[in-house]
Structure 1
Amino acid sequence: MTAVPQVAGRELLNSPSDGISNLRFSNHSDHLLVSSWDKSVRLYDASANVLRGEFMHGGPVLDCCFHDDSSGFSASADNTVRRLVFSLGKEDILGRHDAPVRCIEYSYATGQVITGSWDKTLKCWDPRGASGQERTIVGTYAQPERIYSMSLVGNRLVVATAGRHVNVYDLRNMSQPEQRKESSLKYQTRCVRCYPNGTGYALSSVEGRIAMEFFDLSEAGQSKKYAFKCHRKSEAGRDIVYPVNAIAFHPIYGTFATGGCDGYVNVWDGNNKKRLYQYSKYPTSIAALSFSRDGRLLAVASSYTYEEGDKPHEPDAIFVRSVNEVEVKPKPKAYPNPTT
C-alpha cells in the first residue's frame, strides 16, 4: 500500500470493502453515513473514529442520507429505497423503483424523501407512513433519462440525468419542472450540488470541468454563469483530463471542494474565480466529499471509480481531515493603495 501523508487526514477504521458511492455528514453532529458497492451502509462517529452501525442490503448501495441522528435513508441497486433506524439497528423498505436507485435526498422543507433512479423517474415518499409503496408514495415524475445526480436547497431540487439534461423543480409544485436545461458542459454529468445560499448550483462532468449556474433566468442573472477547467495535467505535451466525481460546499464560507479521478481535492472560491487550496494527493480516485455541519471537518472517500477498467488499485479508504480557515476562507480582493 502506498504511504499516505498525514496531511491527508485520519483514516477511518472499518472502511467498506468495495467502492464507496457516497458519504455525508449529519446536520446535527459529526456522525458520517457511508454507502458502498459492498452492499453496506455504515454509520461512523467521525470525531471518535468509531463505527456505530452497519446495515446490509440486497445489492450495492448507491447513495445515502440522514433524516436526523437517529435515522437515515438509502438507495440501492436492488431497486429498493430503505429507511435505517440507527438507534434500533434495523431497517425497512420504504418503496421500490423499477431499476437501481441512484440518488436519495431528505427534504427538511417538505418532510419527504426524494429518490432518483435509472428507471428514468423521480419519486417522492412520505417516510412517516407504514412501510409499503402504496402507503408512502407521494408522487412519481418522469425524467428525460436515467438520473445521475441530485441536490436540494430549500424548496429547490436540481436533477441531472444522462444526456446532459438538468431539471429544476420547486418542491411545492412538482407537476412540472420550473426550468428545463441542457448542461453547458459538453460531456456526461458526474455531480450536481446547490449553492448553500440558494442562488444556483455547480455541475461537474467527466471532461474535467465545472459549470457555475444560477437559477435567476434574467439577463443579469445568467451573465454571472461561467465554466472552468480543473483536475487536469499536462504530460509530454498532452492534456490529460480526469472526471470530477464530487463537489462539496463549505457551510460557512460558501467556497467548495472538488474531487477528481486524479486523486486530488481542490478548494475553490467561486465568487472570485480562484483556487484557494490543493490537498496532497490521495491514494486513488476521489469518489465523494462532505464537509461537517460547522465546516471544521472534511470527509474524503479515496476509492477507485473504474475509469481505467478493472485493474489493481489501492484499497478504498475514508479520510477525515481537520479544515484550517486559510484553506476555505475567501481571500479579500486586493485593491491598489490610494495615491497621496
Structure 2
Amino acid sequence: MAPATQFEVAQPPKDAISALDFAPGASRRLLVSSWDKSVYLYEVANGAEEASLVGSFEHRAPVLDVCFGADENEAFTAGVDHQVKRLDLKTGEQTTLSTHGAPARSVAYSAQYSLLISASWDSTLHVHSTTASALQQPQQPLTIPLPGKPHALAASPTKLVVAMTARLVHIYDLPTLAAALSSSQPTPPQPWQQRESSLKFLTRAVACMPNDAGYSTSSIEGRVAVEWFEDSAESQARKYAFKCHRQAAPEEDGGGDVVFPVHALAFHPVYGTFASGGGDGTVALWDAEAKRRMRQYQKFPDSVAALAFSGDGRFLAIGVSPGFETGSEQDYTGEGRAKVFIRELGETEAKGKGPK
C-alpha cells in the first residue's frame, strides 16, 4: 500500500454535513447527507487523488443521517420531515419505510439480520425488515418506546446501542429484534442491557467495535468512553474514559483548557482502532486496547462533523462544516464551508499495538 495521501472532494454539499458512510466491502462509494436537503453519492477514483460525484438525491427537508444497505446501490435516510426512506441509488427512487412523530435522527443497518433501525426525537425506535419480500409488500415497523430522546445510534454484528438524554444507554440484541419483527403479533422487546453513560454530559456519537466486543461514546464535553458488552465484573472493570479534543487557553484568559465537543467516532474495520473528530477541527486515531492516542492529523478549516472508514479500511472520509463552537453564528454562511476530505491510509497507519 502506498504512503498516506489526502485530498478534498470536489462538489461538496452546500450546507452543513450530518453524516458519512462508505459502501460495504471493497466498494469505494461514499454517501454524504446534508442540511441542504440532499444526499450525495461519490466514488473514489482508482489510483487518483479524487472522488467524482455520481449523483445527488434531493429530499423534502434536511437529512440528518444516511447509511448504505445490503450493497452499494441501496441506502437509507432519516430526515427532519420525520420520514425514514429507502433510496435506490441506481434509479433515484425513494420509498418511505415509516414516518415518526418527530424528526428521524439516526439510521443503522444490519446486513446479517436484514434490519433497518431508525431512532427519532419522538423517543421511539422503528425496526424495519429490509428483505425483498418486505420491501415489495410494505409492512408496519416494530415500534419500541424509549425512556429518553435518542441522540446517537450504532450497530455491531449482533447488538444495537442507543444513547439518549439523561445519560441513558440501551443495548438491544439484534437477533431478538429480528424475531420480534417476524412474529405474527410483534411486541416490543426489552433491552438486552440498560446502562448509565460513563460520560457526564450529552452524548454526541456512538460507534461499535467491528469484533462485536463493545462500543465507544463521545460527549459535548471533550471526552470519549470505551466499554465492553460483556456484563461480567472483569469486563466492566476494563471500561474507561479519557479527555480529548481540548486546547490550552491563553494565559491572559486564565489558562486551563478550551473544551470542544467530540462530534464523530468511527472504528477501523480491520484493526479495531478508532478515529474521533471534534469541534476543534482535528481528527485523532486511538488504540482502544492500549489506551493511547496513535496520531493526530493536521487541523481542518472547520469543525469535524462526521467520519467513516471504507469497508476495507483503506480510506477515511472526514466531513467538515461549521459547528458554532465559538458561540457566534454571525460568520456562518453554510455554502462554501462544508467540505469532505478523503485520506488514503498508509499500510500500518491505523494498526494499533494491542490485540485485535
User: Which residue is 2:68 aligned to?
Assistant: 66
Q: Any gaps of 5 or more consecutive residues in structure 2?
A: 178-188
Give matches, 1:88-107, under 5 Å.
88-107=91-110
Match status 1:231 vs 2:245: yes
Where does residue 214 of structure 1 map in the other structure?
Answer: 228
Mapping of 1:220-299 within 5 angstroms?
A: 220-235=234-249, 236=251, 237-299=255-317
- How many positions carry a matched residue from both structures? 326
Q: Is the 8 A contact 2:287 2:354 kept in 1?
A: no
Instruction: Go from structure 1 to structure 2 and tell me whether the alpha carbon gap of 1:277 and 1:325 turns closer, same or farther (over 3 Å shift).
Output: farther
Q: Report how far residue 192 of structure 1 moved.
A: 0.7
Taking structure 1 as the reference length, the TM-score comes to: 0.92
Deviation string 1:237-264 (CA, Å, 9 cap, x unpaired) is: 1211000000111111111110000000
Q: Match of 1:266, SS?
A: strand
- Of residues 142, 157, 161, the one that matches 1:158 is 161
> 1:79 matched to which residue of 2?
82
- The answer to whether the Cα contact below 8 Å between 1:267 and 1:327 also exists between their aligned partners in 2 is no
Which stretches of structure 1, 4 residues or longer, exceed 3 Å deviation after superposition?
A: 127-132
Offset at residue 69 of structure 1 (A)? 1.1
2:234 is paired with a residue whose SS is helix
Out of 145-154 and 280-289, give the one that drifted further.
Answer: 145-154
Describe the superposition over 1:87-139 as per-residue Cα deviations: whole angstroms up to 9, x where unpaired: 1122121211010000001111211211000000000112345779x932331
Choose which of 281, 304, 307 in structure 1 pairs with 2:322: 304
Indicate whether 1:14 and 2:36 are aligned.
Answer: no
| Kept after mapping to 2: 8 A contact 1:252/1:295 | yes
| CA distance in structure 2 between the aligned counterparts of 1:122 and 1:327, rounded to whole angstroms | 37
Counterpart secondary structure, 2:141? strand
User: For the aligned residues, what is the CA RMSD?
Assistant: 1.8
Determine the C-alpha separation between the residues in 1 that align with 2:139 and 2:109: 14
In the other structure, the counterpart of 2:128 is: 125
Percent identical pairs in the alignment equals 44
In structure 2, the CA distance between the partners of 1:80 and 1:166, relative to structure 1 (3 Å rule), is: same
Q: 1:49 aligns with which of 35, 48, 51?
A: 51
Q: How many angstroms does 1:8 deviate by?
A: 7.9
Counterpart of 2:143 in structure 1 is 140
Moved more, 56-65 or 228-237: 228-237
1 or 2 for the larger relative contact order (CA 8 Å, sep ≥6)?
2
1:323 matched to 2:345? The reply is: yes
Question: In the alignment, is the contact (CA less than 8 A) between 1:209 and 1:229 conserved in 2?
Answer: yes
Decide whether the 8 Å contact of 1:245 with 1:288 is kept in 2.
yes
Of 18-27 and 136-145, more deviation after overlay is shown by: 136-145
Verify the 8 A CA contact 1:13 1:50 in the aligned structure 2: yes
Q: TM-score, normalized by length of structure 2? A: 0.88
Query: What SS class does the counterpart of residue 115 from structure 1 fall into?
Result: strand
Instruction: Supply the AA of the counterpart residue of 1:201.
Output: Y
Instruction: Give the Å deviation of 1:331.
Output: 3.5
1:201 to 215, 229, 243: 215
Q: Any gaps of 5 or more consecutive residues in structure 1?
A: 1-6, 334-340
